[in-house]
Chain A
Amino acid sequence: MGFEAPSQLHGGDARRVQPFNRQADAPCQEPIGAPLERARLRIAALLNDLEGMLGEHAAPLLREARRQIDERACRIAVIGQIKAGKTTFINTLIGQPGLLPTDINPWTAVVSALHFRSGVATPEHAAVFQLFSIDEWKQIAKGGGRLRELTERLVPGFQPDLLRAQLEVMRSRSERRLGAKFEQLLGKSHRFKTITPELLADYISAGDPNLQASTTEQRRNYSDITRSADLYFDDSPFAFPITLIDTPGTNDPFLVRDEITRRSLENPDIYIFVLSALQPLSAADVAMIRLLNGLYKDRIIVFINRVDQLANPGVDATIVRRSVKKRLRLEFPNLHIPVISGSAWLGGLEMSSQPASGKEAQFSALVAGSGSPFAAPALATGMSEVAAAITQMMCNSTIAVLLQQIASCLLELVRSDQAGVSAQLQQMQTLFEAERTEVNALQKKIAEEEAALAAFEARAHALRASFEEMQAHFDRTIESGQNMLRSELRSIVRDFAQTSADRLAAAIENGVSTRSWRCNVTPLRSDLETAYLTAFDDLARDVVRVEQFLYPQLQVIVSNLLPGYRGTVLEAPEAPLAGSLSLSALTDRVTMDLDTHWWTHWFRARRSAHEHGNQLRILIENDFLPIVEQLVGDAVDSLRQRVEYTMQRASAIASGLLSGVEQRRQNVAVQAAPLRGSDDVQSAAHRQGEQIARIQKCLEQQATLTASCEELESILAGLDGLQSESARR
């Protein structure tokens, strides 16, 4: 079989490599996420110091901060259509060409997460594969999941042959590969201490569809029944903890895999959208980016892969990049999406130590920049630009915001402790002086101090009570906002459903052909998105308004308690609310997304225009009202999280103040001992020594707290700088 076309059609060797201009190679750069990692390590070191120093009241917050600092990794999802080179891209990005199996056919069948130094400790197992549970498998094997549900909704009783055939193939293949009793494997998770290429091939490669009969020597392929894979690596090529998520491509004719991928797109910090230079930005790609749009604005990097396959990589890559940029600007005018072109495959060759052969040798020479027939300079693989773009995006991601939140929360704790300690110092000084003068004066002072403390405590308790009131306020605000949000979104869905139904009925009555008719729900999705975001902003503003109303009152109380207190906790924190909001519900596949094929069946089934219209209205409502519910739920969750965080901070401060009061009360008790007449010279000396020790301890504490304060302020300034720097670029 010859696949070479007549050679004159090539335009000579045009589609092969020609000399091209050197693209400026980025200078030797830091590993990915280095600036954030520095901030993270500084916070971690500080946490160690603070854990011993801050009182019991701070423990839950410190624990939470510690957990986040240790465990939170930056999640980077690599997505794109089938055969765009996602897996090759990951292999090159992590500097291990050939680690994840790749193939000429769609090969990645399982969503796999690669964890790089993201846990507290390296888990015992390097690879964990979770197989589908029996229920999940049954759902897939019998129903085909969501797609089946959608087609059933559209054309009840209609059996989509294609899906049925695919599911049967999947089932029988599993039986062939794993034996008739393969169902016994379901629900299990398989763990391994080391990662080997064979292992990955067994669990995450689609496997050769035509491979017949598994003999004992042949390895078993579990990919059809594997739900997810987690791989843990000791050595990380990145500075910051990173979890890379490799996905099977979208636009896969194997429907089941397409479903799995869509489900895995839940809220990563960064999306890397891999395109093939040969088919850059098709309608399917744009649709995908549209789904990711909305709040994920600053989270998308587009990588145009496989430029090595262009006729003239040097020139064409620039043209493709420009046209992709233009198209993106047109489709998403408000979005800034970095677009980078290159070749992950070449990047892999560059680092591969294996001797290359054939075409690979040709390219290797090219990459090396020597020995090429054209004496061409090195081709930029785009990988270092991608690395730089990731680092830059991380500095502006939810991760950076999280570090900022942790740092400013710690700063609050430190400041309130600082205030407590200086109040203690002041008190001890006063008492000390009074003791030195005369008993009466001391008595008076102690009485004053006790009265002050009692008042202080009453106020602190009042403060706590007002927190409860604040919480109730928040609850009411969220509750009423939630109802408004729901009714607004529902009315958008209903209006759209009605309009579409009327339009369809009118079209049928006017005899318009329904052959290629489709109900386009993109406007509905974007209307929902806009209304959702606007309404959420309003709701968030309401919450902030509650905060702004209540905080000044608290401010008065606290400044009475601690005149020297200069924290900011009592100003509404400015954590960006929208950052944690999820729009993933909007990406749910609905009946309307089915292609013309299914709709043809639908039109065949019913007669009257009115009936068609009515049916369409019901379909749209059935599909979108649950999505509205999901969106409302997500909004409420996000607001509650914010409120919880605010309250947690506030109550940690309050507890800190109360424990300060406790300290001072003990001091008073010690000082009051001579007044009770049980004081002799020896115990007086002992007491004084004790007091001096206490004062010294307080002074030390104050010094450390001040140092921590400065460190935290400098970390925060650094994070601010990173953000504004990447925003400027």
Chain B
Amino acid sequence: MSRSLLHRSGQSRGAELLAEARLPTRVAIAGEMNSGKTWLANGLLGSQVLPTSFVTRTEVPTVVEFGAKSRLVLERSDGSRVAASWEEVEAGTCQGRRLRQRLPSPRLQDLRLVDTPGLGDGDEQMAHRIRCICRSADLVLWCTSALQAWKASERDFWLSLSPRVRDKGLLVVTFGDMLRHDQDAGRVLARLQAEAGLHFRKIVFPAQLFDLLARARLQRAIHSAREPTIAHSPSTPALLSA
């Protein structure tokens, strides 16, 4: 999967394309607290890499990227880096700019995830940082809980991003499995479509997203002989059609 996944495909110069083609797709995951961001990140990674604890919320942005060896590094505010463990993180002793988790997972060869702290606790500085992360991502996954979907505070944050950034956004409806009635999912989706549909590329449930990614990978494998940009593979129109 290349950076040209969502747009720009036609405009980039060849050299740039080549340079970019080697970079994994940068996916930012954002949303309010307890909206299932880390859970979604683990889903995309296919394993329980990041601890999803209900109590200790993700405090600093966590970058998950490919590395030959599995290791966790904390980048302090002064730029220095130290090795860290998830136990320390969960204990809340890790203060810094970001956490960097390297993993030898094959899935990460074309994917670089940034899991961000939950919004909604009034921390303007953090909100500003998350805006920056969204700006530099290729794909922004905004998590909203099916049980309390799309509040004014979510909308306000999302609309504070520029249209260029919003154009890279998918609204991911998490916790759909906790709905009490089968017809509820469709109804939530209908409301989201009406109230938030305009501001996102598409609204999806996590399973659809996992599905699309898996299919995209498959497609890429199949079409790897030909010029293989996912943007043109048969699976992506579903992902991209707004």
Is A11 an interface position by the 8 A CB rule? Answer: yes
**Are A597's CB and B120's CB within 8 A?**
no
**Are A282's CB and B121's CB within 8 A?**
yes
- Which of B120, B150, B175 contacts A253, CB < 8 Å? B150
Alpha-carbon separation in the docked complex, A494 to B205 (Å): 51
**Using Cβ atoms and an 8 Å threshold, which residues of chain A touch B46?**
6
Is B153 an interface position by the 8 A CB rule? Answer: yes
- A14 closest partner in B (C-beta): B52
**Are B185's CB and A210's CB within 8 A?**
no
**Are A2's CB and B148's CB within 8 A?**
no
**Using Cβ atoms and an 8 Å threshold, which residues of chain B touch A209?**
190-191, 194
Is A81 an interface position by the 8 A CB rule? Answer: yes
- B179 closest partner in A (C-beta): A104
**Using Cβ atoms and an 8 Å threshold, which residues of chain B touch A5?**
39, 43, 177, 206-207, 210
Is B19 an interface position by the 8 A CB rule? Answer: no
**Are B54's CB and A4's CB within 8 A?**
no
Is A82 an interface position by the 8 A CB rule? Answer: yes
Binds B, one of A214-222, A223-231, A309-317, A427-435: A309-317
Alpha-carbon separation in the docked complex, A3 to B173 (Å): 9
Interface residues of A in 660-709 (CB under 8 A from B): none
Is B147 an interface position by the 8 A CB rule? Answer: yes
- Which of A3, A254, A255, A316 contacts B205, CB < 8 Å? A3
Interface of B (DSSP majority class): helix
**Using Cβ atoms and an 8 Å threshold, which residues of chain B touch A9?**
39, 42-43, 48
**Are A279's CB and B190's CB within 8 A?**
no
**Are B34's CB and A278's CB within 8 A?**
yes
Distance in angstroms from A643 CB to nearest chain B CB is 42
Alpha-carbon separation in the docked complex, A282 to B157 (Å): 14
- Which of B34, B176, B179, B205 contacts A279, CB < 8 Å? B34
Binds A, one of B61-69, B98-106, B108-116, B124-132: B124-132
**Using Cβ atoms and an 8 Å threshold, which residues of chain A touch B177?**
3-5, 15
**Are A252's CB and B151's CB within 8 A?**
yes
- A363 closest partner in B (C-beta): B180
Interface residues of A in 1-58 (CB under 8 A from B): 1-6, 8-9, 11, 15
Given that A11-B48, A253-B195 are known contacts, is A104 also in contact with B55, CB under 8 Å in the complex? no
Interface residues of B in 201-215 (CB under 8 A from A): 205-208, 210-211
Alpha-carbon separation in the docked complex, A4 to B150 (Å): 20
**Using Cβ atoms and an 8 Å threshold, which residues of chain A touch B43?**
5-6, 9
**Using Cβ atoms and an 8 Å threshold, which residues of chain A touch B52?**
11
Interface residues of A in 309-348 (CB under 8 A from B): 309-311, 316, 319-320, 323
- Which of B124, B147, B210 contacts A83, CB < 8 Å? B147
Interface of A (DSSP majority class): loop
A-B contact count (CB 8 A): 141
Is A84 an interface position by the 8 A CB rule? Answer: yes
**Are B34's CB and A516's CB within 8 A?**
no
Distance in angstroms from B138 CB to nearest chain A CB is 22
Given that A251-B152, A360-B180 are known contacts, is A286 also in contact with B187, CB under 8 Å in the complex? no
- Which of B146, B153, B173, B195 contacts A282, CB < 8 Å? B153
Contact bitstring A66-84, B, C-beta under 8 A = 1, else 0 = 0000000000000001111
**Using Cβ atoms and an 8 Å threshold, which residues of chain A touch B32?**
279, 282
Is B240 an interface position by the 8 A CB rule? Answer: no
Is B181 an interface position by the 8 A CB rule? Answer: yes
Interface residues of B in 150-192 (CB under 8 A from A): 150-156, 159-160, 173, 175-181, 184-188, 190-191
- B204 closest partner in A (C-beta): A1
A side interface size, CB within 8 A: 52
Alpha-carbon separation in the docked complex, A323 to B56 (Å): 10
B side interface size, CB within 8 A: 59
**Are B156's CB and A597's CB within 8 A?**
yes
- B190 closest partner in A (C-beta): A210
Given that A4-B177, A516-B127, A597-B160 are known contacts, is A81 also in contact with B187, CB under 8 Å in the complex? no
**Are B148's CB and A4's CB within 8 A?**
no
Alpha-carbon separation in the docked complex, A276 to B32 (Å): 13
Given that A4-B177, A252-B151, A253-B152 are known contacts, is A311 also in contact with B124, CB under 8 Å in the complex? no
- A311 closest partner in B (C-beta): B54
- B159 closest partner in A (C-beta): A597
Is B145 an interface position by the 8 A CB rule? Answer: yes
Interface residues of A in 103-122 (CB under 8 A from B): 103-105
Distance in angstroms from B200 CB to nearest chain A CB is 14
- Which of B42, B124, B205, B207 contacts A516, CB < 8 Å? B124
Contact bitstring A230-269, B, C-beta under 8 A = 1, else 0 = 0000000000000000000001111100100000000000
Distance in angstroms from A605 CB to nearest chain B CB is 18
**Using Cβ atoms and an 8 Å threshold, which residues of chain A touch B54?**
310-311, 316, 319-320
**Using Cβ atoms and an 8 Å threshold, which residues of chain B touch A11?**
48, 52
- Which of A1, A210, A311 contacts B208, CB < 8 Å? A1
Is B122 an interface position by the 8 A CB rule? Answer: yes
**Using Cβ atoms and an 8 Å threshold, which residues of chain B touch A253?**
150-152, 154-155, 195-196
**Are A595's CB and B148's CB within 8 A?**
no
- Which of B123, B184, B191, B205 contacts A2, CB < 8 Å? B205
Q: Which of A3, A253, A359 has the most CB of B within 10 A?
A: A3
Is A208 an interface position by the 8 A CB rule? Answer: yes
- B205 closest partner in A (C-beta): A3
Q: Which of A83, A162, A279, A284 has the most CB of B within 10 A?
A: A279
Is B33 an interface position by the 8 A CB rule? Answer: yes
- Which of A251, A286, A310 contacts B151, CB < 8 Å? A251
**Are B195's CB and A516's CB within 8 A?**
no
Given that A6-B43, A597-B156 are known contacts, is A276 also in contact with B210, CB under 8 Å in the complex? no
- A319 closest partner in B (C-beta): B55
Alpha-carbon separation in the docked complex, A11 to B51 (Å): 11
Distance in angstroms from B228 CB to nearest chain A CB is 26
Distance in angstroms from B186 CB to nearest chain A CB is 8
Is A283 an interface position by the 8 A CB rule? Answer: yes
Is A405 an interface position by the 8 A CB rule? Answer: no
- B199 closest partner in A (C-beta): A162
Is A133 an interface position by the 8 A CB rule? Answer: no
- Which of B55, B160, B175, B208 contacts A323, CB < 8 Å? B55
Is A596 an interface position by the 8 A CB rule? Answer: yes
Alpha-carbon separation in the docked complex, A309 to B146 (Å): 12
**Using Cβ atoms and an 8 Å threshold, which residues of chain B touch A597?**
156, 159-160
10 new A-B contacts, CB < 8 A, other than A162-B159, A316-B55, A596-B156, are A1-B185, A2-B205, A83-B147, A104-B187, A105-B188, A253-B152, A258-B152, A278-B145, A279-B32, A600-B160
Q: Could you name 14 residue pairs across A and B whose Cβ atoms are closer than 8 Å?
A: A3-B173, A3-B206, A5-B207, A6-B210, A81-B148, A104-B181, A105-B188, A105-B191, A210-B190, A251-B153, A278-B175, A282-B120, A284-B120, A518-B124
